[in-house]
Amino acid sequence: MNLDSKIPAGPLAEKWTKYKSTMPIVAPNNKRKLEVIVVGSGLAGASAASSLGELGYAVKCYTFHDSPRRAHSIAAQGGINAAKNYANDGDSIYRLFYDTVKGGDYRSREANVHRLAECSVDIIDQCVAQGVPFAREYGGLLENRSFGGVQVSRTFYARGQTGQQLLIGAYQSLSRQISLGSVTMYNRHEMLDLVIVNGKARGIIVRNLLTGKIERHAAHAVVLATGGYGNVFYLSTNAMMCNATAAWKSVKKGALMANPCFTQIHPTCIPVSGEYQSKLTLMSESLRNDGRVWVPKKKEDAEAIQQRKLKGVDIKEEDRDYYLERRYPAFGNLVPRDVASRAAKVECDKGHGVSPTGLAVFLDFSAAIERYGHIEANKHGNHNPTKEEIKILGEKVVSEKYGNLFEMYEKITGDDPYKEPMKIYPAVHYTMGGLWVDYNLETNVSGLFALGECNFSDHGANRLGASALMQGLADGYFVIPYTIGTFLANEISTPKISPDLPEFIEAEKKVIDNINALLSIQGEHSVESFHRRLGKIMWNHCGMARTEAGLKEGIEMIRQLRAEYHKNVFVPGSNDEYNPELEKAIRVADFMELGEVMMLDALNRKESCGGHFREESASPEGEAMRNDAEFTYVAAWDWNNGNPEMHKEPLIFENVELKTRSYK
């Protein structure tokens, strides 16, 4: 299969502008006649649906949530990047582009990433105009902070609730289009299959989650913005309902899954505390602006802490190992996520972990509280503050910046992070892999587009912090409104697609058969118990460190688990009712197939890059080693009826020189 990325010709910085002004356009009177299905109402879906509605297309938008505002994007905490250079610290579109390509360990497409950096600037303007209350300076201008993997301040934020505020902005725009009648919203409708007619994506099969009714919906084109697949690991920072079904069903209909093994393990999450745990909570990366990561230098100290005989505050300064600052002096606590996560694992594997399970490190704010306290005291003209005064003033600053995160931490753990350093450990967070798309964000299935976390396009093997929100909104507000025209311009004389075509009837029947099959197993174990087992296999065999033997074993285990699932799962209730267990059962079945392809991809990629760390490919100091000669390509997987097959899209770098990523 020839994977044509359709990257426009010309110099990098001019590609998008030129392409935009020369691409085919659909006239307004024709737009009204063209129907577009958008699945998903997160940042990518809501921004796409509202923008396409504004342009005049007849849009139908679907979400399995009870309201578009509940999408997982709501939970993003830290911020959104943009190359505004308001901080005047040397930022530029090129620098954001360069940081993202480097941060992604040179496994993303130059042209896509450059376009993303260009759009970033407009996103902030758009959001401000919608009424997003970003953080501001005393002078009334927008405020910025820094995130990992970069040396400038380009992250815009709204306290610790940036995703919420951005999503509400997009939701409001979407609500406006709904009220104007250009978008029809289908809440509580879950896409369970893609319908392809004569080689083009023409519709979807959905389940009405309230009644269980299976419905056929048709349109001229289908846009998926259904988020990532991190929940394949069961425990992750993703919301509980996040799943891969829409994307995976499309793969089973011929779309390709690109770089599925590229998953991001986030270094700062609240550690696992027990078997009953249902999800993990992220502590935003923005905390690494001010928090210092450490473990005790002496193993005895760590053991005493594990046995609750000592506390973090009892360890003297000289007995602390600020291992990120020690190993990576240039970036210190702000190294990219993959590097920080692996470093935490190394310390814990050596026995220096600080929780009863030994799987945690400290994130400490005492130095920041002291530093801010001094600054504040000076601002107030107090040049001789007492220790207590410094602490009070410093805590106030820290609370203004991260108050809600500190509260969240205290609610979950019962510990007060102002008094005791936080305990954190890496957890699954984001998936860089996703549906393969070309420069137009179109998959290899004609008329099927993929946006946001659902596609693979911009983050290579590792995503930098605050870049997912940027990508979702760039795709939805500024890319798809143009690029969908490349497909729809050829469809202006295609009449309305009928949902009664044989392809729809057949797909509907398959969905119903599949549901009946799951319901009729009536086995012994709950869906949840299978999902937990799947998650453990994925984490142990395809997690932070991967080996050939481990992956081969993992693949066998998944295949067995899948066979057992289809013999022995118990799904209560029936199809024709509100049935969350059945919803889960369908999703977990898909995760089990996707999990296998993730492992196959990890096995194939015999190099370490970004979030993918193969133990066989490491330097003597334990740093990841890429193999550019053999693996500078996108691995795009075809499910091929259960015999997965890989296709390559070579990555060509014309502007950036491939270097060993060093943060030392």
Ligand X SMILES: Cc1cc2nc3c(=O)[nH]c(=O)nc-3n(C[C@H](O)[C@H](O)[C@H](O)COP(=O)(O)OP(=O)(O)OC[C@H]3O[C@@H](n4cnc5c(N)ncnc54)[C@H](O)[C@@H]3O)c2cc1C
* Residues at the site binding ligand X, with contacts judged by CB under 6 A: 39-45, 62-65, 71-73, 75-80, 162-163, 190-191, 225-228, 237-238, 242, 245-246, 282, 429-430, 452-454, 466-469, 472
Provide the minimum distance between the beta carbon of 67 and another protein in the complex, in angstroms, as a whole number: 5
Distance separating alpha carbons of residues 442 and 457, to the nearest angstrom: 11
Structure tokens at 475: 């795709």
Q: What SS3 state is found at 318?
A: helix
CB–CB of 167/46 below 8 Å?
Answer: yes
Q: Give yes or no for residue 50 binding another protein (CB under 8 A).
A: yes
Distance separating alpha carbons of residues 357 and 354, to the nearest angstrom: 8
- How large is the greatest C-alpha to C-alpha distance in the chain, in angstroms? 82
Provide the minimum distance between the beta carbon of 280 and another protein in the complex, in angstroms, as a whole number: 10
Q: Give yes or no for residue 246 binding another protein (CB under 8 A).
A: no
Q: Which of 281, 357, 514, 627 binds another protein (CB under 8 A)?
A: 281
Provide the minimum distance between the beta carbon of 185 and another protein in the complex, in angstroms, as a whole number: 8
Q: Which of 12, 122, 403, 627 binds another protein (CB under 8 A)?
A: 122
The item of another protein, ligand X, none sharing an interface with residue 69, based on CB under 5 to 8 Å by kind, is another protein
Provide the minimum distance between the beta carbon of 57 and another protein in the complex, in angstroms, as a whole number: 13
Other C-beta atoms closer than 10 Å to the C-beta of 549 total 11
Taking the least distance from each CB to ligand X, the nearer of 285 and 395 is 285
Short-list 537, 534, 552, 531, CA closest to 616 = 552
How many positions of this chain bind another protein (CB under 8 A)?
78
Distance set, CA 288 to CA 146, 163, 213, 285, 445 (Å): 9, 18, 48, 6, 41
Distance separating alpha carbons of residues 389 and 260, to the nearest angstrom: 52
Q: Give yes or no for residue 187 binding another protein (CB under 8 A).
A: yes
Q: Pick out residues in 300-339 that bind another protein (CB under 8 A).
A: none
The item of another protein, ligand X, none sharing an interface with residue 559, based on CB under 5 to 8 Å by kind, is none
Q: Give yes or no for residue 68 binding another protein (CB under 8 A).
A: yes
Q: Give yes or no for residue 125 binding another protein (CB under 8 A).
A: yes
The item of another protein, ligand X, none sharing an interface with residue 168, based on CB under 5 to 8 Å by kind, is another protein
The item of another protein, ligand X, none sharing an interface with residue 41, based on CB under 5 to 8 Å by kind, is ligand X
Q: Tell me the DSSP string of 320-370.
A: EE-HHHHH-TTTGGGS-HHHHHHHHHHHHHTT---STTS--EEEE-HHHHH
Taking the least distance from each CB to another protein, the nearer of 168 and 354 is 168
Taking the least distance from each CB to another protein, the nearer of 210 and 505 is 210
Q: Which of 1, 24, 151, 210 binds another protein (CB under 8 A)?
A: 210
Catalytic (active-site) positions: 337
Q: Tell me the DSSP string of 406-418.
A: HHHHHHHHS--TT
Q: Which of 15, 31, 84, 189 binds another protein (CB under 8 A)?
A: 84
Q: Give yes or no for residue 208 binding another protein (CB under 8 A).
A: no
Q: Which of 15, 60, 69, 327 binds another protein (CB under 8 A)?
A: 69
Q: Which of 11, 28, 274, 502 binds another protein (CB under 8 A)?
A: 274
Return the range that interacts with another protein (CB under 8 A); candidates 108-116, 154-162, 378-386, 607-615: 154-162
Taking the least distance from each CB to ligand X, the nearer of 204 and 603 is 204
Short-list 23, 22, 15, 49, CA closest to 475 = 49
Residue 155: its H or E element: strand 155-156
Return the range that interacts with another protein (CB under 8 A); candidates 24-32, 462-470, 477-485, 535-543: 477-485
CB–CB of 110/653 below 8 Å?
Answer: yes
Taking the least distance from each CB to another protein, the nearer of 589 and 634 is 589
Return the range that interacts with another protein (CB under 8 A); candidates 103-111, 178-186, 547-555, 602-610: 178-186
Which residues, 6+ apart, have CB-to-CB distance to 97 below 8 Å?
A: 110, 113, 114, 116, 117
The item of another protein, ligand X, none sharing an interface with residue 356, based on CB under 5 to 8 Å by kind, is none
Q: Give yes or no for residue 29 binding another protein (CB under 8 A).
A: no
Taking the least distance from each CB to ligand X, the nearer of 78 and 260 is 78
Distance separating alpha carbons of residues 306 and 352, to the nearest angstrom: 9
For the CA atoms of the chain, what is the radius of gyration?
Answer: 25
Provide the minimum distance between the beta carbon of 75 and another protein in the complex, in angstroms, as a whole number: 5
Q: Give yes or no for residue 78 binding another protein (CB under 8 A).
A: no
Short-list 46, 44, 76, CA closest to 157 = 76
The item of ligand X, another protein, none sharing an interface with residue 376, based on CB under 5 to 8 Å by kind, is none
Q: Pick out residues in 372-431 that bind another protein (CB under 8 A).
A: 408, 411-412, 414
Provide the minimum distance between the beta carbon of 356 and another protein in the complex, in angstroms, as a whole number: 11
What is the b/e burial string over 469-505, where b = at least 16 CB atoms within 10 angstroms of the residue's CB?
Answer: bbbbbbbbbbbbbbbbbbbbeebeeeeebebebebbe
**H helix intervals, 131-220:** 162-180
Q: Give yes or no for residue 273 binding another protein (CB under 8 A).
A: yes
Provide the minimum distance between the beta carbon of 400 and another protein in the complex, in angstroms, as a whole number: 9
Other C-beta atoms closer than 10 Å to the C-beta of 662 total 10
Distance set, CA 171 to CA 55, 74, 177, 375 (Å): 17, 10, 10, 40
Return the range that interacts with another protein (CB under 8 A); candidates 28-36, 70-78, 221-229, 260-268: 70-78
Structure tokens at 534: 């799947």
